[in-house]
Amino acid sequence: MVRPRVLVVAGTHGNEINGPWLLDQWRQHPALIDSEGLDVQLAIGNPAACAKGRRYLDRDLNRSFHPDLHKEASESAAESDREMVQALELLKQFGPKGQTPCDLVVDLHSTTSAMGNCLVVYGRRPVDLALAALVQHRLGLPIYLHEADAAQQGFLAERWPCGLVIEVGPVPQNVRRSDIVLQTRLALEAVLAAITSVRDGSARYPDQVVIHLHLGSLDVPRRSSGDPDALVHPNLQGRDWQPLKAGDPLFIDAESNTVVFDGEDGLVPVFINEAAYAEKAIALSLTKRETWPLPKDWKEALAELLR
Amino acid sequence: MVRPRVLVVAGTHGNEINGPWLLDQWRQHPALIDSEGLDVQLAIGNPAACAKGRRYLDRDLNRSFHPDLHKEASESAAESDREMVQALELLKQFGPKGQTPCDLVVDLHSTTSAMGNCLVVYGRRPVDLALAALVQHRLGLPIYLHEADAAQQGFLAERWPCGLVIEVGPVPQNVRRSDIVLQTRLALEAVLAAITSVRDGSARYPDQVVIHLHLGSLDVPRRSSGDPDALVHPNLQGRDWQPLKAGDPLFIDAESNTVVFDGEDGLVPVFINEAAYAEKAIALSLTKRETWPLPKDWKEALAELLR
């Protein structure tokens, strides 16, 4: 077996159709993306949801990878929860102890928010952060570190020894755009090149990495019925990654009353007005931008994984 | 009964959520939109699809209003076709012979295409064209005249004596944006003001009206499996309403090969890369821009309807 083996997943959400098209074209034209001599496995995360053009059928597949959930699933009839079955199937096939065990996973997503081309990392695993730092050094992509959010757990990437999400937007659900496909491809190529550089000893790490730490999320104002009573303010729409200051407008209602930001100056909003997060009561998330020196043990951990 | 009675519908497609929010807010704040003394009835076209955030459940409601379909539906068990049941329900309640008969219908839609704020008219009924001309004179909105398309039939607006669609974009499905809501509201106010102006004799018609006549639609290139083998070209994306000339790129594949436009110079593309039309094998539609003088009988027909 050639190591490391890299799993590239697209269509974890069935209405994010740019990644799946890229993988489909890569299968048709193997020279399209240089796999750098790595053993790359391609998978559609949620084929049943993709066939219907829906984010998911029974539950969000990208919240279905928490080990505790799987313990429950194996004890109960999982037939009524198609995503739980699919999560277990992906692990059985490509998980670290699966039939074709993979060491790393890259999960391709898109968003209706103006996130540009960016990386999402779950928690502070040294291997994830080292790999993200290498990609940031190559392409300058912002990194969103999602952690410590009790309401959002069980992400796919967490179940492999190393895993990143590539997130590209804005693009509507169920729309393919050539610019979105191109950005996805550039980020994926940068990840594969970074992995190769660690393997062959040519990796050039930056001295520091810029991280956006997840702090929490805000919902739109709602009335007692639960119906939204305001919208994202036009001055905020499309301004992902741009620091807020106190008094900046966040929401606007039908009669033009605004709700303003009253938090700490400099917090950075992400995933502003993402279509799929309305059901999670998230109109945007807030992050804190920090610059971290790159510790030696991150690099060693990634080198060790890829040895 | 105050005449004319105007039906305003939103959420005919359950993932177009800006119109429904506008109606919800209008119900909460009756002063939000000046109904100009008209008897305005508000309806959610497809509440079950709206609840699920899906365009439709069993079939496109806005292709379910063909009288022939209803003949079939009444002869068969319609339980399995929820949109057919809903179409009949809307007609029973608000149709010209319904419980609360309405003379005109305004159907609020949104699109992922960069259509801006525009009107869609189905066929060449003088009353529709006269009303659209009045709105175009007020706001300058482009008019798309959809006709003679055997593959696309049974639109809601056709079943009332007079009916227009207000179509606003670009906005992703299941995303609310304040600019989209504002444009929808402006167009709706212009329609209501135009109706009132005909009633009170103050209507100011333009000498001519600019119409975009539907000629047909193009699909993306597909391989034999049916899978798309190319995407809308970035030079075309977002250029709805901008005339094409021979040689302009239409599509691009993963290896950057392009398909160019080889039709008549000056044809105008609309609904470029609309998410919901992929299943209808439509990547864009082509129209011919024509300027028509405004015949006297259009005005008389609308005055007669609103008398």
Query: H helices within chain B, ranges in order?
Result: 18-28, 47-52, 67-75, 82-94, 126-139, 178-199, 296-306
Residue (of B21, B5, B26, B2) closest to B189 by Cα position: B26
Dist. CA A177–CA A16, nearest whole Å: 11
- 10-residue mean pLDDT profile of chain B (307 residues): values are 86 98 97 93 98 96 87 60 95 97 98 98 97 97 92 93 98 98 98 96 96 97 96 98 98 97 96 95 97 97 95
The token duo for B255 is 């290896």
Dist. CA A178–CA A195, nearest whole Å: 26
Please name the member of B25, B28, B172 whose beta carbon is closest to the beta carbon of A173: B172
By CB atoms closer than 10 A (0-12, 13-18, 19+), residue B291 is: exposed
SS3 content of chain B, % helix, strand, coil (to 5): 35, 25, 45
Q: What is the pLDDT of residue B1?
A: 53
The token duo for B41 is 């009835």
Dist. CA B206–CA B194, nearest whole Å: 12
Dist. CA B158–CA B152, nearest whole Å: 12
A254 touches chain B (CB under 8 A): yes
Dist. CA B252–CA B241, nearest whole Å: 20
Q: What is the pLDDT of residue A1?
A: 53
Q: What is the pLDDT of residue B73?
A: 60
DSSP code of residue A31: G
A110 neighbors A174 (Cβ within 8 angstroms): no
Residue of chain A whose Cα is closest to the Cα of B114: A172
Q: Do A174 and B254 touch (CB under 8 A)?
A: no
Dist. CA A59–CA B131, nearest whole Å: 46
A126 neighbors A205 (Cβ within 8 angstroms): no
The dihedral formed by the CA atoms of A286, A291, A293 and A298, expressed in degrees to the nearest 10: 30
Helices A126-139 and A296-306, interaxial angle, to 10°?
100
> How far lies A302's CA from each of A125, A197, A219, B96, in Å?
10, 11, 37, 70
Dist. CA A277–CA B71, nearest whole Å: 41
Residue of chain B whose Cα is closest to the Cα of A180: B234
Residues 38-67 on B with a CB inside 8 Å of A are 53-54
Residue (of A203, A185, A205) closest to A8 by Cα position: A185
Instruction: Quick: pLDDT tens for B272-294.
Output: 999 999 989 999 999 999 999 99
Q: What is the pLDDT of residue A75?
A: 56
Residue (of A119, A224, A213, A244) closest to A232 by Cα position: A244
Phi-psi region of A164 (alpha: psi -120 to 50; beta: other; left: phi over 0): beta
Which residue carries 């796919």 as its tokens?
A156
Q: What angle do CA A246, A247, A249 make, to 5 degrees?
A: 120
B303 neighbors B134 (Cβ within 8 angstroms): no
Residue (of B201, B204, B197) closest to B36 by Cα position: B197
B270 neighbors B142 (Cβ within 8 angstroms): no
Q: Do B254 and A177 touch (CB under 8 A)?
A: no
Dist. CA B70–CA B104, nearest whole Å: 21
By CB atoms closer than 10 A (0-12, 13-18, 19+), residue B263 is: middle
Strands (E), B113-260: 116-122, 143-146, 162-169, 208-218, 231-232, 249-252, 258-260
Chain A residues inside the 8 Å CB shell of B14: none
Q: Say if strands A284-293 and A268-270 run parallel, antiparallel, or are unpaired.
A: antiparallel
Chain B residues inside the 8 Å CB shell of A25: 253-254
The whole-model pTM stands at 0.95
Q: What is the pLDDT of residue A39?
A: 95
Dist. CA B78–CA B76, nearest whole Å: 6
Q: What is the pLDDT of residue A265?
A: 96
The token duo for A218 is 């805000």
Q: What is the pLDDT of residue B69?
A: 74
Instruction: Quick: pLDDT tens for A240-290.
Output: 999 999 999 999 999 999 999 999 999 999 999 999 999 899 999 999 999
The token duo for B53 is 């955030």
B107 neighbors B43 (Cβ within 8 angstroms): no
> How far lies A248's CA from each of A259, A287, A289, in Å?
9, 16, 18
Number of residues that make up chain B: 307
Q: Do B173 and A170 touch (CB under 8 A)?
A: no
A76 touches chain B (CB under 8 A): no
SS3 content of chain A, % helix, strand, coil (to 5): 35, 25, 40
Dist. CA B118–CA B165, nearest whole Å: 8
CB burial string A209-241: b at 16+ within 10 A, e below: bebbbbbebbebbeeeeeebbbbbbeebbebbb
B207 neighbors B294 (Cβ within 8 angstroms): yes
Residue of chain A whose Cα is closest to the Cα of B172: A172
- 10-residue mean pLDDT profile of chain A (307 residues): values are 86 98 97 93 98 96 87 60 95 97 98 98 97 97 92 93 98 98 98 96 96 97 96 98 98 97 96 95 97 97 95
A75 touches chain B (CB under 8 A): no
Residue of chain A whose Cα is closest to the Cα of B238: A177
